[in-house]
Amino acid sequence: MKVAFCGKGGVGKSTVAALLCGALWRKGYKVLAIDADPSPHLGRLLGFADEARLKPLAEMRDLLAQRAEKAGPYYTLNPRIEDLPEKFTLTKDGLKLMVLGAIREAGGGCACPEQTVLRRLLSYLLLQSQEAVVVDMEAGVEHFGRGTVVPMDAILVVTQPYRGSLETAKQILKLARELNMERVLVIGNALRSPEDADFVAQTLGVKPVVSFPEDPEILKAEREGRSLLEISSPSQEIAGRLVEVLEKLA
């Protein structure tokens, strides 16, 4: 099972990704969590206390340039990356975490040497991993232009019931159709009422496969710096239902 989370910044995709990792873990899956957001939070939400020492690979520009064999304007399109997962992966209680981050440069294109290394590494992890893989992608729609979500089994679009979030979700659904992605699922988050769920469905033209409510236990855990694996709330049950939805796609 290989899934990627995307959506507008601030909609809670990292939170829902962490909840899914926990639900898979409790069901006996070995889980590889990949944080591919330029502002990584997934490790903290999963309780990796030593996450701070794991610098995002995207920030290791010298390493990436070396692997890309960068020489002036020239670089290899087939960089060596096979040894990187072992060197830059944290493990805790059957959960694995790799923090990729993302290349962010003003005016930078998607074909830079460093991005080529990250894209190849992500593809390698998706193809070679024997675990369930959960990828927290960067916010917005840029990664669709780079094609980094194509190898996934499912794309999970997280949205909240307000227009800014829904407009981004609309863009993602449109780009997914253009890339012939069939397994693109909408997930509602921070919904307060059935009317919120109806508003999401009517705006996007598709009903969320699951919807998470506003959850005070998640807010409390965030404030106290606790892992979302430790909380007891309805959100865990909903994450379990999301696992069942994904298993039916497999």
Cα gap 152→118, rounded to integer Å = 16
CA distances from 146 to 9, 143, 178, 179 (A): 18, 5, 13, 11
d(CA 190, CA 212): 6
> Tell me, what's the pLDDT at 168?
94
Give me the domains of the chain, ranges plus CATH numbers.
2-249 (3.40.50.300)
pLDDT of res. 106: 41
* CA angle, residues 35, 48, 9, in degrees to nearest 5: 35
Q: CA–CA separation, 69 vs 62, rounded Å?
A: 10
Read off the amino acid at residue 214.
E
Distances in Å between the Cα of 115 and the Cα atoms of 63, 133, 199, 214, 222 are 12, 20, 37, 36, 31
pLDDT of residue 109: 45
Give percent of the chain with pLDDT exceeding 70.
86
| Distance of alpha carbon 147 from alpha carbon 142, whole angstroms | 9
| Residue 234 confidence (pLDDT) | 92
The pLDDT confidence band at residue 240, using thresholds 50, 70 and 90, is very high
- Structure-model confidence comparison of residues 182 and 236, the more confident one: 236
Instruction: Tell me the per-residue pLDDT of 40-63, one tens digit each, with 9 for 90 and over.
Output: 889 989 998 766 566 788 788 788
Residue 215 to residue 5: CA distance in whole angstroms: 19
pTM above 0.95, yes or no: no
